[in-house]
Amino acid sequence: MKGEGLPGAVLFDLDGTLADTEPNWFNGELAVMKRHGVPWTFADAERYIGTDLNESSADIVVRYGLPLSGPEFKDALVSEVYRIALERRTCWLPGVEETLMLLRRLRIPVALVTMSVRKLADVVVEDAPEGTFDVVVAGEDVTKGKPDPEAYLLAASRLGVDPGDCVVFEDSSPGTLSAIRARMHVVTIPWATKTPDFPGLLRRESMEGIDEAALRSYANAPLASEA
């Protein structure tokens, strides 16, 4: 491990973990559905939080009987969310900026691991201080989205760090499962949704107050299990 018990790398989910972007997705979905005369509520949106965008788009088209293909829905949704993201820019969640600064001071590699498309991830990268993220894994980079471990394993590989030396911050059940299945140390900070009580799962209310001691404790905690 890096230093004396520090994580070899810290990996972050994007939506609902680093930034308050879930409203962007909800409003984007609402706009597309309204265009086709289909009611849309947060309960509808919650079903798809943290899931692979290709899979969720295909499911929405079938479930709600839209006159679109899955890829057409995805393209329309991404266009709406991108427009909103450019207007709002990045609304960091509590404690995030301080945590990112701490990791830079400690020279711990950082990865952004999201199932969003790259151009949406790029908005967040542009709004962060230069050099904040060493690696970005976006939805286009993987063949299987969360909860499959591919995205997190790819990020660790690109960073040159063993998965077991990584600490992951997540907010959704699919993302948490992805990191658990990658055999990484997972800290969940539920924002828009609740995550199941996986055995050994680490939890925080927010990133406020994260310090070097907390990072050491996370890096040396027993791995959580989905069983």
Give the pLDDT confidence of 133-183 residue by residue, as tens digits. Answer: 999 999 999 999 999 999 999 999 999 999 999 999 999 899 999 999 999
pLDDT of residue 52: 85
pLDDT of residue 192: 63
State residue 181 phi and psi, 5-degree precision: -70, -20
pLDDT of residue 124: 93
Residue with tokens 């289909």: 38
Q: Please give the average pLDDT of every successive group of 10 residues along the chain, which has 227 residues.
A: 78 94 92 96 88 92 96 96 91 96 97 94 93 96 95 98 98 93 95 79 95 97 92
Q: Which contiguous run of DSSP H or E holds residue 188?
A: strand 185-188
Range of the domain at 202: 9-20+90-219
Sheet hosting strand 110-113, strand order edge to edge: 135-137, 110-113, 9-12, 166-170, 185-188, 202-203
Query: For 62-75, how does the pLDDT look when each residue is reduced to its tens digit (9 = 90+)?
Result: 999 999 999 999 99
Residue with tokens 């199932």: 115
Asked which of 64, 88, 112 is the last residue of a domain, the reply is: 88
Between CA 174 and CA 176 the distance in angstroms is 6
At position 64, the amino acid (one-letter code) is Y
Between CA 198 and CA 125 the distance in angstroms is 31
- What pTM did the predictor assign? 0.86
What are the catalytic residues? 13
**Whether residue 141 sits in one domain with residue 178:** yes
Task: Say how many domains are in the chain.
Answer: 2
State residue 75 phi and psi, 5-degree precision: -65, -40
> Which CATH number covers residue 51?
1.10.150.240
> Does some domain include residue 227?
no
**Whether residue 106 sits in one domain with residue 63:** no
**Whether residue 95 sits in one domain with residue 81:** no
Between CA 71 and CA 50 the distance in angstroms is 18
Q: What is the CA radius of gyration of the chain?
A: 17
> Does some domain include residue 2?
no
**Whether residue 83 sits in one domain with residue 98:** no
Residue 109: helix, strand or coil by DSSP? Answer: coil
pLDDT of residue 196: 76
Structure tokens at 158: 């690109």
Between CA 170 and CA 177 the distance in angstroms is 9
Between CA 176 and CA 201 the distance in angstroms is 9
**Whether residue 94 sits in one domain with residue 82:** no
CA 218 from chain centre, in angstroms, equals 18
**Whether residue 157 sits in one domain with residue 125:** yes
